[in-house]
Amino acid sequence: MTAVRTIQVPGGRAVRVTPVFDTYWKFACMRQDVYMSRVLGAPAPWTTDPTLSVYKFTNAYRASDRVSQYLIRNVIYEGSREPEEVFFRIMLFKLFNKIETWELLTEALGVLEWRSFDARRYSAILDREMAQDRRLYSAAYIMPSPAYGNARKHRNHLALLEQMMLDAAPHRVASAASLEEVFEILRSYPSLGAFLAFQFAIDLNYSPLVDFLEMDFVVAGPGARDGIQKCFADTAGLSEADIIKVMADIAEREFLRLGLDFQTLWGRKLQLIDCQNLFCEVGKYARVAHPEWTGDSGRTRIKQRFRARGALEVPFYPPKWELSIGPTSPRFTGPAGHHQERPASQAASAE
């Protein structure tokens, strides 16, 4: 195994990192370059990296992923802005996290609203879909079935959603004083563990319902824990959440150290949720690139292969982020750390 080295992190602690630590930053840069090349219409191939070319990975920025983009554009910002309706749409979508399930319901029922919600009608539509051996849930998350006494998982999730609405969860979320409080509200419901509650809190934070910084709070999921174990030989007693915060704090320093021309999201730097997700993705990437460094997942292969779904739409992010989407994106590079502008369509040649 390649030797471990020691680095200083904010707060004065010395942590020990593996070669996968450097790969974390290289992966983030390459993956963001692939995304920016695609979104700006550059022709394939978008990368020369053999692992990125073959296997499927989420984007460096969570909000750029296909399902997140659909949620923001088609679920959150279409329809009523009333807190109850915004919450209802987000949670209905996220409990399945599958675009096809949302579209199935909208095609059958029209506008999906809490004011007209009928669990029996929704269930009947989903029952018919299951009878045709079609999947209702995304494979991205493990969605446990809450214990509401129904034989089918989707009926239990509809019951969970109904309980949330009757408990005035939308108004409690809208009145929350922090992202962590939103997380705690969600965490109090059956079957929503820490990881799911955090992911859903981030989704709610994309909406007009709440507006907290994504640098305020983070929860590490199982994939991120695996990636942290591969990047760090010794975390000097820092928690997983602390390590994710360290990564966000030192990102610019590390990109500069490695001479990487990282392309931001039109000026938005990597947030805690993005650094958390990157740990998950580099944990997968390391199965091929660094098989000698193992985490706690025990997995040695990457299952999903990359298949382009065609040209990407111009992305749509929460308007409150005030991003100016255009043909250039701020990058930081060079020994002085100055931000520079370069056409994002040149990203492919930077790999």
Write phi, then psi, for 341 (nearest 5 degrees): -105, 135
Read off the tokens for 305.
């292969």
Strands 328-332 and 262-263: antiparallel
pLDDT at 329: 61
Tens-place pLDDT, residues 175-188: 999 999 999 999 99
Write phi, then psi, for 126 (nearest 5 degrees): -70, -35
Q: What is the DSSP letter of 268?
A: B
Tens-place pLDDT, residues 207-266: 999 999 999 999 999 999 999 999 999 999 999 999 999 999 999 999 999 999 999 999
Residue 312, C-beta contacts closer than 8 angstroms, at least 6 positions apart: 35, 38, 39
Tens-place pLDDT, residues 148-160: 999 999 999 999 9
Other Cβ atoms less than 10 A from the Cβ of 127: the count is 13
Query: If DSSP codes are grouped into helix, strand and coil, which group holds residue 351?
Result: coil
Write phi, then psi, for 112 (nearest 5 degrees): -90, 115
Tens-place pLDDT, residues 122-157: 999 999 999 999 999 998 778 899 999 999 999 999
The ranges assigned to domains in the chain are 5-64+218-350, 78-205
Partnered with residue 331 across adjacent β-strands are 263, 340
